Structure 1
Amino acid sequence: MSRASIHLVRHGEVFNPDGVLYGRLPEFHLSDLGQEMARRVASHFQSQKNDGAKLVHLVASPLTRAQETAAPIAAALGLEIETDERILEAENRFEGLSGVKSRLRSPRYWPLLRNPMKPSWGEPYVQQVDRVMAAVQDARVRALETGGDGAEAVLVSHQLPIWVTRLAAEGRRLWHDPRNRECTLTSVTTLDFEGDVLSGVRYAEPSADLLPGAANIPGA
């Protein structure tokens, strides 16, 4: 039975001085700090490769911030970036707004909050898990075809899709408090597989020392 590992990487800090919930909006680039975070996570994977890890496949969401985070990883590992829309940010009805927390006091937005367990303001959590796990399984197969037993792939995605995928992988409920997500900027959530069966989940924060003071507005 072939072993494989899929690393789900959240993008780095985004330049977003107006505090917009950017969601799937185009042209939100990494900040200078975000670029440093991207280099940091690239070094994290380069060190693993130097220690013998078979990092053979790299995929990124089509959104700018994910592509820019993937670029130094591609350079460090000598891989091409493949783009997969299945790992992009979740849809969100608040996309494009700033100061979302204060706007929730307005009755005009209350209908969007009628079912936080789905959630009613955006793409259902179950739908996010289904599309991300489909991409993960495809990446697992591609990695094994390229690298054989023990092959690994990196998928650069976004906080909410990664987090709900982890919740599902660990058998936990999908609805949650966004403030409690363990998925910091350029964090690495690793799904380990034995054959096509998930055997474990790991988590790492290569940019932990860069997080204090970083802007961290969830895209969804």
Structure 2
Amino acid sequence: MPEAIVHLLRHGEVHNPDRVLYGRLPSFRLSELGQEMARRAADYFSERGKDGATISYLVASPLTRAQETAGPTAEALGLEIVTDERIIEAENHFEGLSDIRSHLREPRYWRRLYNPFRPSWGEPYAAQVARMRDAIIDARRQAVERGGPGAEAVLVSHQLPIWVTRLASEGKPLWHDPRRRQCTLASVTSLEFDDGRLSAVRYAEPCADLLPGAANLPGA
């Protein structure tokens, strides 16, 4: 049995009919489908509990879509939601724009596109990983303090921070093609720890059957 497991849960589908790159904008809520995804995620963690897992700590990004996704899990497991700014969505200079491709042809935005490896249009990948790792370390410790050895924590975050954290955990380059991220809506990326060290990374999609009809515009 691992010393601890930290689950990184991506939020559910967002109501976003204008296909805005919503980033850190506070007003974007879950759609009806996203609410169903949040309930499915709660069922997923409830089943883990029935199978013997001790999920003792629940954290969410301060953004509305993450808080709403965490709600059903909090209710199902009897946990409070701890809000942590460190697992918020990545900063993006194109935040608030829709139809991003058309804007990329405008010269005023070109200065944001010179370095895709950093990336130059937003928060550096390395900075995202650093803040996520700090939050994960704290969550791992809190889970074990509250639930004992083998306890688990759930962190509700966003696609890009979760994905680059996984890449870093697997020793892979942080630069990537956004279309190839394995981090679907309401997916669970699980980090297993032994003796304080990462020993395994696992991935699950509790809402796989809901994804074909979902809008999946990355937030950043």
- Same fold by TM-score greater than 0.5: yes
Helix, strand or coil: the match of 2:36? helix
Does residue 39 of the first structure (1) align with residue 30 of the second (2)? Answer: no
Matching residue of 1:52? 52
Secondary structure in structure 1 of the residue aligned to 2:213: coil
TM-score (norm 2): 0.98
SS at match of 2:131: helix
* 1:79 matched residue in structure 2: 79
CA distance in 1, matches of 2:147, 2:29: 32
After superposition, give the CA deviation of every residue in 1:35-59 in whole Å (9 maximum; x if it has no partner): 0000001000001101110100000
| Deviation larger for 86-95 or 2-11 | 2-11
Aligned residue number for residue 96 of structure 1: 96
Q: Report the equivalent of 1:185.
A: 185
Distance 1:3 1:53 in 2: 12
Q: Secondary structure at the match of 2:33?
A: helix
Deviations 1:62-98 (A, max 9, x none): 0000000000000111100000000000000000000
The one-letter amino acid of 2:167's match is L
Tell me which amino acid in the other structure corresponds to 1:190. Answer: S
In structure 2, how many angstroms separate the alpha carbons of the residues matched to 1:195 and 1:130?
20
**Matches for 1:57-76 after TM superposition, within 5 Å:** 57-76=57-76
Alpha-carbon displacement from aligned partner over 1:194-217 (angstroms, at most 9, x marks no partner): 121111100000000000021111
Q: Do the aligned partners of 1:87 and 1:132 also contact (CA within 8 Å) in 2?
A: yes
TM-score between the two structures when normalised by the length of structure 1: 0.98
**Alpha-carbon offset, residue 2 of structure 1:** 6.9
d(CA) in 2 for partners of 1:13 and 1:134? Answer: 27
In structure 2, distance between residues paired with 1:6 and 1:68: 19
Question: 4+ residue stretches of structure 1 with deviation over 6 A?
Answer: none
Equivalent residues of 2:117, 2:175 under 8 A apart? yes
Q: Distance in 1 between matches of 2:196 and 2:112?
A: 37
Which 5+ residue runs of structure 2 have no aligned equivalent? none
Q: Secondary structure at the match of 1:174?
A: coil
Match of 2:17 in 1: 17
1:127-184 alpha-carbon deviations (Å, 9 max, x no partner): 0000000000000000010111100000000000000000000000001111100000
Alignment of 1:192-211 (within 5 A): 192-211=192-211
Asked if the contact 2:2/2:192 (under 8 Å) is kept, the reply is no
- Counterparts of 1:135 and 1:65, CA distance in 2: 19
User: How far off is 1:101 after superposition?
Assistant: 1.9
Unaligned runs of 5+ in 1: none
Matched, 1:118 2:118: yes
Q: Which residue of 2 aligns with 1:5?
A: 5
Q: 1:94 to 1:120 in 2, by over 3 A?
A: same
Amino acid at match of 2:135: A
Could you tell me how far apart the structure 2 residues matched to 1:105 and 1:162 are? 29
Q: Is the Cα–Cα contact under 8 Å of residues 14 and 29 in structure 1 kept in the other structure?
A: yes
Letter matched to residue 107 of structure 2: P
Residue of structure 2 equivalent to 1:170: 170
Task: State the partner residue of 1:30.
Answer: 30
Task: Give % identity.
Answer: 70
